[in-house]
Structure 1
Amino acid sequence: MSATARARETGIDAVALKPMECDVSVAADLPFDTVVVDYEGREHLPESDVLADIAAARDLRLTTPVRAAGFDPLGDDSLAASLPAEAGRVLVAGHGAYLDDDERDKRIAPRLGAAVEAHPDAWVGTAGIERVALATGAGQFELLSRSTDRDLSALRAAGYEGQVSLYAPVVLDDDEDAILDAVGDYTARRGPVRRALPDDAATDGSATGRAREVLSAAVRDYALVGDAETVGDRVAELKEAGADTVVGYPARGPDAFR
C-alpha cells in the first residue's frame, strides 16, 4: 500500500506542517484538503506567495500567536496583514519559546477576542487557556491527551455544538523503536509523563525498563501511532467522542503521507 493510500485509510482530515522542518509547499502533494501551517517564529514564517499558492489549492489555516509582534490585533499586526486573504487562522496564545519577555506579559483574553471578531471562522487553540478559548465561541483546537475522549464527551454532553478540531502527531508504523524515536521526546515533555519517568532516562527507541514501559503507554495517549488500520480505529473513536476534524502532524516528515 502506498503512503498516500495509508494516509487516506487513517481517516485523518487535515495535515499540519512545520516550516522549520520542511518546505510547506509540499502541501500540494499531500492527500488532504485542509492544511495547517504551524508558527515557529517570525524568521520561519513562509513567504506570502508560497502561502497564497497553498491557499489557492487547499483550505489553508495558519497558526498565529495573538501576543506576538506582527500578529497582535491590539498592537502591531503587520505580519498578519501580509497573509493571504484566503488563509484561515488558528489563533493561539503563543508558545513561550517563540515570544520575548514583553510579548509573554501581554494579556491573552482581549487579544483573542479581537482576533476572533476579525476572523469569526477561526479555530482557537485551547492549550493552557481552555476556559478563555471556549468563551470566545469560536471553533476549538485541542491537543490530543490522555483525557481527550472524556473531555470531548463532556463538552458535547454539556451542549457545545461548535467545531472541535484535534491535533496529534502521527507515526504510521507499528515498530516500537520507530514510534519512540519519532514521538518519545514529545511525549516525555507532557507533565504526567515527565513525572513518571526515571531521572535522566532515554526518551527515544533506546529507552529500556521502566522508562520504556511509561513511554510506550504514553505515546498512545498523546499521539496517533501504529499501522494505518490501528490509527484509523483510534481516529474513529475520537470522532465518536466529539471531534469534528483530526489534524495529523507527520512526526517523521510529510513523505510519510505521500
Structure 2
Amino acid sequence: MTSLDKPTDQGNADQDEQTASDSRAVTEAALFEAFGGVRGMVETVVPGLLFVTIFTVNKDLHMSAIAALAVSLVLVVVRLVMKDTVKHAFSGVFGVAFGVVFAMMTGNAKDFYLPGMLYTLGLALAYIITTLAGVPLIGLILGPVFKENLSWRTRNPGRKKAYAKASWAWGLILLAKCAILFPLYWWADTTQFGWVLVALKIPPFLLAVYLTWVFLAKAPPPIDVFAEMEAAEKAEKAAKAEAERSAP
C-alpha cells in the first residue's frame, strides 16, 4: 500500500457515508410526503379525540358527531388557506363522515369508529396479500414519491425486498391493532373503547413508519425513471438534430 492509498480510501469512505446520509434524508422526506408528517397525524387524531371527549362529558351522540365532523372540515379549510396539499385532510373528512353516518343510523356511539376499523382491517389484508402476490403495497405507494414508479419490481431487487419487508410490517402491525380493537368494540363501553382507540392511533403508525424507514434506508437507491425518460428524450432530440445537420 502506498502513501496515496489511505487518503483515497478515506475519500471513498466519506463519499459512501455521504451517499448513505443523502439516501436516509430522501427516504425521510418521501415518508413524510406519503404519510402526511406531523400535521397528518394531528388531523388523524383530533376528530376522534374531540368525539370521545365530548361524549365522555355529556353522552350526547349528535353533539359529539357534529363536533368531530366540523373540526375535520376546519382542518381542510386551513390547508386550503395555506395552499397546502389536502389529500390527508380530505381522507380524514370522509372517514369522519362515514363514522357519523354509521353512528346516526344505529344510534350507537361506538359505530362512529366502525368504518375506520374496517378500513384498517382491509388495509392490513391488502398489505399482506399484495406482498404475497409479489407487488407489495408500500412499493406501489412510495414508488411514485421516489420517482421510481414500478422499476423496483424488475430492475431493483434490493428495493423490492425492502418494500416487501415494510409491507409485512404494516400488515402485521395493523392486524395486531385490529386484534385489540374488535374485541373491545363488542365488550367495552363507548367511553373506554373510544379512549383506547385514540391511544392506538399514533403509536402503531409511528412504529410502521420507522420500520419502513429502516428497511428502505438500507436498501439500494431508487432508479429515477423520470430522469431516465428525460435523458432519453434529450438524446433522441440530439440524434434528430445531428441527422438533420448531416443530411445533404
**TM-score of the two chains, using structure 1 as the length reference:** 0.26
Larger RCO, structures 1/2 (Cα 8 Å, 6+ apart): 1
| Between structures 1 and 2, the one with greater helix share | 2
| Between structures 1 and 2, the one with greater strand share | 1
Bigger-Rg structure (1/2):
2
